[in-house]
Chain A
Amino acid sequence: MNQETTEESNEESYILVWLTGIVFLVAMAAIFLFVPTEQTEGPVQRIMYIHIPSAWLSFFAFFIVFICSILFLWKKEREWDIYAHASAEIGVIFCSLVLITGPIWAKPIWGTWWVWDARLTSTLILWLIYVAYLMLRAQTEAGSMRARYAAVLGIVGFLNIPFIHFSVLWWRTFHPQPKVISSEGFGKGMETSMLVTLGISLCAFTLLYFLLMGQRIRQEKLKDEIDRLKREQLYSS
């Protein structure tokens, strides 16, 4: 890495940091000041404006893991392995946040922390799959083997999503659906101000994803550089 490119990327990342910060401030203002309180659910409904974007971010991150895994097995370039790793980590973190905020919203609205509803169950399974993915990465030493295994798991895991979705959906068909806003009818019952707030929040979280990705990728590359130098030192001495 020569000096010029690092400075350039630094400048870019500063722009991204400021942009993300500003969009987040706008999103916060929209969530807590601008948007009217929902009639039936009360203030707790505002959780939705961080819950849904977190869910979107984690699913997006897992999709990126899938794409990068395919590209890695195809091209065998370390680059894609780094991207997949970074994305999986960020995805798991936001998936955890989804699983935490979900029950907090559900307790006052549904009266229970957890319902074995299709969406909740599949999010939980997804979380388990990608935690296993990260564990696999943590247990193996860096190198071609780890990258290949992780890529296979990244592909297998993402292809599982449709199966999980349908099996969990049909699993519960015999039981009454909870009488709440099922996500299918979510957009319909929402006012424009709510949709706008949700949109801003989605933007903010997507920007955050790219910001974190950039940091995480830079870190892995630093790690590689250190390993390379250490090897050099070993050979030279």
Chain B
Amino acid sequence: MNLYLNQIAAIVWKDFVTELKTRELLSAMFIFALLVILIFIFSINLSIVKASEVGPGILWVAFLFAGTIGLNRSFMLEKENGCLMGLMLVPADRTAIYFGKLISNLIFLSIMELFILPLFMIFFNIDLLSHLGPLLVVVFLGTLGFCALGTLLSSLSSNLKTREIMLPILLYPLLIPIIIGAVRMTGQILDGTELFDMMKWIGLTASFDIIYIGVSIMTIDHILEE
């Protein structure tokens, strides 16, 4: 068990060191998310629409698009340099590769989101600080679901010729439940609803997270097989 955790930690650490050296991914994700938010602000009239009504949707679309960049990179980097082969030759369980990638994706996305949230607050003039606790819980649940399924599918699409195109096409329809849930919950939190009053949404997203992590553990062996 200890060895298993060490293997996961090693993969996460490797991704971190690469990112610290190159500094490509985080900045790209952040700027891209910012651009998505800006484009949405230009495409809607904020003097007509209430910011707290459209805000959550725009925020999650930004997270989704920027997150896709991160997912696309996470396995492509390995693929380009033949590192995936190396990873698979390591006498580690395939699920360790999955969990390592899941955690590093989750951390990168979370860092990006932590930078985007204050900007969102400023641009939309919404007070996030008063509901920060519940908001972070919801953002975490949504991001975990996104990463759980996204890591599985990016490991799959990285072997395709048209990987950048296929990943969103495969991923987005499957993510719709979590997008609806996350947007709804974020909206309700901004309206001042307590977490307890939206137990059904939390249950839905949490079970989505759990089921897809479970499915990934069961099927990752069949994807990372050469």
> Which of B78-86, B92-100, B104-112, B174-182 contacts its partner?
B174-182
Q: CB-nearest residue of chain A relative to B183?
A: A171
> Which of A101-109, A146-154, A215-223 contacts its partner?
A146-154
Rank and list the top 7 A-B pairs by shortest CB-CB distance, nearest first.
A163-B177, A167-B177, A128-B173, A167-B180, A129-B173, A152-B219, A148-B222
**Residues on B close to A: CB < 8 A?**
149, 152-153, 156, 159-162, 166, 169-170, 172-174, 176-178, 180-181, 184, 200-201, 204, 207-208, 211-212, 215, 219, 222-223, 225
> Which of A57-65, A89-97, A132-140 contacts its partner?
A132-140
Closest chain-B Cβ to A133's Cβ sits at a distance in Å of: 8
Chain A's interface: helix, strand, loop or mixed, by majority?
A: helix
B212, A152: Cβ atoms closer than 8 Å: no
Residue-wise interface mask of A (112-130) relative to B, using a CB-CB cutoff of 8 A (1 in contact, 0 not): 0000000000000100110
User: Given contacts A167-B181, A171-B180, are A139 and B173 in contact (CB under 8 A)?
Assistant: no
A contacts with B, residue count (CB < 8 A): 27
Interchain residue pairs with CB less than 8 A apart (8): A145-B159, A156-B153, A166-B200, A167-B176, A167-B178, A168-B180, A170-B204, A171-B184
B162, A164: Cβ atoms closer than 8 Å: no
Q: Please tell me if A157 contacts chain B, counting CB pairs below 8 Å.
A: yes
Q: Which of the listed residues A135, A155, A167 has the most CB atoms from chain B within 10 Å of its own CB?
A: A167
Partner of A163, one of B200, B204, B219, B223: B204
B215, A139: Cβ atoms closer than 8 Å: no
Interface residues of A in 10-27 (CB under 8 A from B): none
Q: How far, in angstroms, from A129 to B176 measured CA to CA in the complex?
A: 11
Q: How far, in angstroms, from A72 to B97 measured CA to CA in the complex?
A: 23
User: Given contacts A132-B170, A156-B212, are A148 and B177 in contact (CB under 8 A)?
Assistant: no
Set of chain A residues within 8 Å of B162, measured between Cβ atoms: 139
Q: Please tell me if A159 contacts chain B, counting CB pairs below 8 Å.
A: yes
Closest chain-A Cβ to B162's Cβ sits at a distance in Å of: 6
Q: Please tell me if A67 contacts chain B, counting CB pairs below 8 Å.
A: no
A139, B152: Cβ atoms closer than 8 Å: no
Set of chain B residues within 8 Å of A149, measured between Cβ atoms: 156, 159, 223
Q: How far, in angstroms, from A205 to B219 measured CA to CA in the complex?
A: 33
Set of chain B residues within 8 Å of A139, measured between Cβ atoms: 160-162, 166
A125, B176: Cβ atoms closer than 8 Å: yes
Set of chain A residues within 8 Å of B212, measured between Cβ atoms: 156, 159
Q: How far, in angstroms, from A163 to B173 measured CA to CA in the complex?
A: 12
Partner of B215, one of A132, A155, A168: A155
